[in-house]
C-alpha cells in the first residue's frame, strides 16, 4: 500500500480572529481546535505519519494540545502559509511518502469520508482537493452597489485536505519558491496549478468550514453540541404475582390498558408491571433513582393508584431537564394472558403518556417455556429500556 503522510498547517497567528491566543489553540468543546483536526488524521488507518507545522513561539501550547496523540515531532513554519507548507514537505522528504495530505488546523470538522475521497482520487490525478459547489448567487460590488451578477456555474469553494502525489507537490513548491512568486497563493492547489499539475475536485462537506472569526467558533460549538448530544439509556424491571380480583374483577392493568383476564395483578398501586418497568427505565436514564423513591409502596396515598401517574412524573422530570424521549422498548414475560391482541392499544396508550409518536414505542411479549414461576402462570414480569436525549453537557474546562 502506498505510504500516505499528512501535514497539518498550524503556524498562523490568526490576526483576523482578534484573540491573543492563536485560534488553533483555542478550546472547542473542551479540547483545542488543533487536537480535533489532528485526532481525525491519526485515527485514519489509510494515513501513516502525521506532522504538524507550528509557529516557533507555540512549542508549549502545541505540546499541551496534542498530548497523547501519535504524531511526528513538529516542524517550525515560515512567514507565509505557502512557506510553512514547503518547510513541512521538506521535513517529510526523508520518509519518502508516495502521497501527502495537507490540511488547515483551523478546520476541526474534517471527516473520515472526505479524507478517504481525496486519497482515492489520487489513483487518477496528481492532486485532489475537497470542495463544495457554490449555491448562492454571486454579486460583484463597488461602493456598496451591485455592479455585476457573477455566474456561479462551475464555481467551487476550496477546502482542505488537499492531497497530492508527494514528489510532484514538493517539486511544485520548490519551483514556486525559486521563481518570481508574485501574489501569494491561498492554497496548495494554486501552487500545483502553476506547476501544471492536474488537480481534481472531490466532494467536501458544508461542516468542514474554516474558523476565521469568533462567530465561526460559536458555530463550531453549536455543531459539536448538536452532533454530540448527551444520550442516556435506562433499564427497568418489575414483576407482580397474580391474585383474585376484588368484587368479581375480571381484568388486569398492563401497559396502561385494561386487559380481560380471570385474575388480577397484586401490588400497592394498580400493579401495572409494564408501566412500572418503563417508569424505572426513564428514571434510570436521568439518574433519578427508582419508582420506590418517588412513590413509596408503604404510603397509603398510592394504594390502588393508576400507574400512569408514575410514568407522567418521570416524563415531567425529563422535560424539566430539557430532555426528550427518543425510544422505549418493553418486553412482557408471561404465559397468559395473550398480549398480541392488545399490543396496538398498549403502544398507543404509552405513546400518549410519553408525548411521542407511536413508532417510538415498542411492546413485545415472550414466555419462559413453562420454566419458573412465570412459566407456572403465577405472575407477569416486565423489562423496559428507554433512550433519553438531554441537552449537551458544557465543555470540560482544564483543571
Cell 521538506 found at: 90
Cell numbers describing residue 351: 405513546
Q: What is the pLDDT of residue 226?
A: 54
Q: Are 165 and 126 in contact (CB under 8 A)?
A: yes
Q: What is the pLDDT of residue 42?
A: 92
DSSP 8-state symbol, 397 = P
What's the rounded Cα separation, in Å, for the pair 84 and 90? Answer: 10
| Contact residues for 42 (Cβ-Cβ < 8 A; gap 6+) | 50, 69, 70, 71
For residues 167-186, one letter each, b for 16 or more C-beta atoms within 10 angstroms of the residue's C-beta and e for the rest, the string is ebbbebbeebeeeeeeeebe
Q: Which residues of the chain have pLDDT under 50?
A: 394-399
What's the rounded Cα separation, in Å, for the pair 381 and 224? Answer: 40
To the nearest 10 degrees (0 to 180), the angle between helices 166-178 and 81-92 is 130
Q: Which fold, 4-135+152-227?
A: Spore Coat Polysaccharide Biosynthesis Protein SpsA; Chain A (3.90.550)
Any idea where the domains of the chain sit in the sequence? Answer: 4-135+152-227, 230-390
CA 369 to each of CA 331, 373, 375: distance values in angstroms, whole numbers, following the listed order:
15, 11, 6
Q: What is the pLDDT of residue 251?
A: 83
CA 11 to each of CA 54, 64, 74, 108, 272: distance values in angstroms, whole numbers, following the listed order:
4, 16, 10, 15, 64
CA dihedral 153, 158, 159, 164 (to 10 degrees): 120
SS percent in the chain: helix, strand, coil, step 5: 35, 25, 35
- Work out the number of other CB atoms within 10 angstroms of the CB of residue 322: 10
Q: What is the pLDDT of residue 133?
A: 93
pLDDT tens figures, 169-194: 999 999 998 887 677 898 999 999 99
Q: What is the pLDDT of residue 281?
A: 97
Pairing of strands 145-150, 138-142: antiparallel
CA 255 to each of CA 244, 305, 313, 328, 374: distance values in angstroms, whole numbers, following the listed order:
20, 14, 16, 12, 18
Q: What is the pLDDT of residue 323?
A: 87
What's the rounded Cα separation, in Å, for the pair 311 and 350? Answer: 9
User: HSE on the CB side for 325, CA within 13 Å?
Assistant: 32
pTM: 0.59
What's the rounded Cα separation, in Å, for the pair 188 and 192? Answer: 6
Q: Are 105 and 32 in contact (CB under 8 A)?
A: no
Q: What is the pLDDT of residue 15?
A: 64
Paired residues of 141 in beta bridges: 146
Q: Are 328 and 361 in contact (CB under 8 A)?
A: yes
| Class of the CATH-defined domain 230-390 | alpha beta
Cell numbers describing residue 60: 508549549
Amino acid at each position: 500500500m502506498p505510504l500516505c503522510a499528512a501535514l497539518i498547517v498550524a503556524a498562523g497567528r490568526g490576526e483576523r480572529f482578534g484573540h491573543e491566543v492563536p485560534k488553533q489553540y483555542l478550546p472547542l468543546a473542551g479540547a483545542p481546535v488543533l487536537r480535533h483536526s489532528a485526532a481525525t488524521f491519526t485515527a485514519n488507518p489509510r494515513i501513516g505519519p502525521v506532522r504538524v507545522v507550528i509557529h516557533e513561539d507555540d512549542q508549549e501550547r502545541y505540546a499541551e494540545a496534542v498530548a497523547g496523540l501519535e504524531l511526528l515531532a513538529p516542524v517550525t513554519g515560515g512567514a507565509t502559509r505557502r512557506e510553512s507548507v514547503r518547510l513541512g514537505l521538506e521535513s517529510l522528504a526523508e520518509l519518502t511518502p508516495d502521497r501527502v495530505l495537507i490540511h488547515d488546523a483551523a478546520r476541526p470538522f474534517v471527516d473520515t469520508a472526505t479524507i478517504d475521497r481525496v486519497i482515492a482520487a489520487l489513483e487518477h490525478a496528481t492532486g485532489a482537493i475537497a470542495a463544495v459547489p457554490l449555491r448562492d448567487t454571486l454579486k460583484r460590488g463597488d461602493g456598496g452597489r451591485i455592479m455585476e451578477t457573477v455566474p456561479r456555474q462551475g464555481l467551487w469553494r476550496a477546502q482542505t485536505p488537499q492531497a497530492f502525489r508527494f514528489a510532484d507537490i514538493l517539486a511544485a513548491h520548490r519551483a514556486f519558491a525559486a521563481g518570481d512568486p508574485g501574489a501569494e497563493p491561498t492554497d496548495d492547489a494554486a501552487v500545483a496549478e502553476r506547476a501544471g499539475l492536474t488537480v481534481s475536485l472531490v466532494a467536501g462537506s458544508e461542516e468542514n468550514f474554516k474558523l476565521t472569526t469568533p462567530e465561526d467558533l460559536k458555530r463550531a460549538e453549536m455543531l459539536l453540541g448538536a452532533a454530540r448530544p448527551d444520550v442516556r439509556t435506562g433499564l427497568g424491571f418489575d414483576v407482580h404475582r397474580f391474585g383474585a380480583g376484588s368484587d368479581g374483577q375480571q381484568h388486569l392493568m398492563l401497559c396502561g390498558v385494561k386487559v380481560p383476564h380471570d385474575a388480577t395483578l397484586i401490588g400497592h398501586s394498580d400493579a401495572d408491571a409494564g408501566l412500572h418497568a418503563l417508569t424505572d427505565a426513564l428514571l434510570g436514564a436521568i439518574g433519578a433513582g427508582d419508582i420506590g423513591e418517588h412513590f413509596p409502596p408503604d404510603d397509603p396515598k398510592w394504594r390502588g393508584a393508576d400507574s400512569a401517574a408514575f410514568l407522567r412524573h418521570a416524563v415531567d422530570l425529563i422535560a424539566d431537564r430539557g430532555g426528550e424521549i427518543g425510544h422505549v422498548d418493553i418486553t412482557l414475560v408471561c404465559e397468559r394472558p395473550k398480549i398480541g391482541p392488545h399490543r396496538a392499544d398498549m403502544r398507543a396508550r404509552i405513546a400518549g403518556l410519553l408525548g411521542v409518536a407511536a413508532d417510538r414505542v415498542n411492546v413485545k411479549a415472550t414466555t419462559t417455556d413453562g420454566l419458573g414461576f412465570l412459566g407456572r402462570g403465577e405472575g407477569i414480569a416486565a423489562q423496559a429500556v428507554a433512550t433519553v436525549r438531554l441537552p449537551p453537557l458544557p465543555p470540560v474546562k482544564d483543571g
